[in-house]
Amino acid sequence: MKRDNYHHGDLRRLLIETGIELISHEGEEALSLRKVAKECGVSSAAPYAHFKNKNDFIGAIQQHIMDLFTSSLEESIHKYNDSNEILPKMGKAYVMFFYENPLYYDFLFSRKNIKIQLSLNDTADNENLPLEILKKTAVRIFEKTNMSEKTIQNKIIAMWALVHGLSAILTMPNVEYDDRWEERIEKIIKSISISHRNTGDE
């Protein structure tokens, strides 16, 4: 991590990468600006040229990880054409992303930083948020049925809550994971996304 120039050239990116490295190996607790700076071969105050403060830095990392997460979800859409399979597979992708990198879950959803928000509202600048992808996909599938809009909305929320909750549970320490989970996840998700009864509002 040496450099010959006074200016680094690409410090911002390097800081973020080093930060993610640290988080995915030792957790958010271990993340300190000074440590990251030293690891990048730069003085303690250098990061402040690229980030307003630590929270801003964390926000940038969250954004980066959130992009990874979003990509993972979108990939699962293109992979499966059968509309009966898309939602369960997507839900599985949701859960698996965090299972494969448990520290990401804690980091992404620890409420220290308010830059990245999952929201139920329709807002214009939310295009690539996980919930929006899930929403769009679900609506596209459900609107072929004769369910009311309210019912569809409830189903989407239920689905989101389910996969999010599964992610939380599976990333808890001491929850041992075995292969049964893989099919279990799909089956549980299908039980919500397929059954057309008992979710209605009318």
Partner DNA sequence: ATTCCAATCTTGACGCTGATAAGATTTTGT
Partner DNA sequence: ACAAAATCTTATCAGCGTCAAGATTGGAAT
**Which residues contact DNA by CB under 7 A?**
5-9, 11, 31-35, 37, 42-46, 48-50, 53-55
For position 121 contacting a second copy by CB under 8 A, the verdict is yes
121 binds, among DNA, a second copy, none (CB under 5 to 8 A by kind): a second copy
Does the protein bind a second copy through residue 118 (CB under 8 A)? Answer: yes
**24 near a second copy (CB under 8 A):** no
Q: What six digits make up the tokens of 197?
A: 């009864």
* From the list DNA, a second copy, none, partner contacted by residue 44 (C-beta under 5 to 8 A by kind): DNA
- Own/partner pairs, 55-59, CB within 8 angstroms, 24+ separation: 55/112, 55/113, 57/15, 57/16, 57/19, 57/33, 58/28, 58/31, 58/112, 58/113, 59/113, 59/115, 59/116
Q: State yes or no: residue 31 binds a second copy (CB under 8 A).
A: no
User: In the bound complex, what is the minimum distance in angstroms from residue 82's beta carbon to a second copy?
Assistant: 17
Question: Any contact of residue 146 with a second copy (CB under 8 A)?
Answer: no
Say how many C-beta atoms besides its own lie within 10 A of residue 3's C-beta. Answer: 13
Interhelix angle 83-100/102-109, nearest 10 degrees: 90
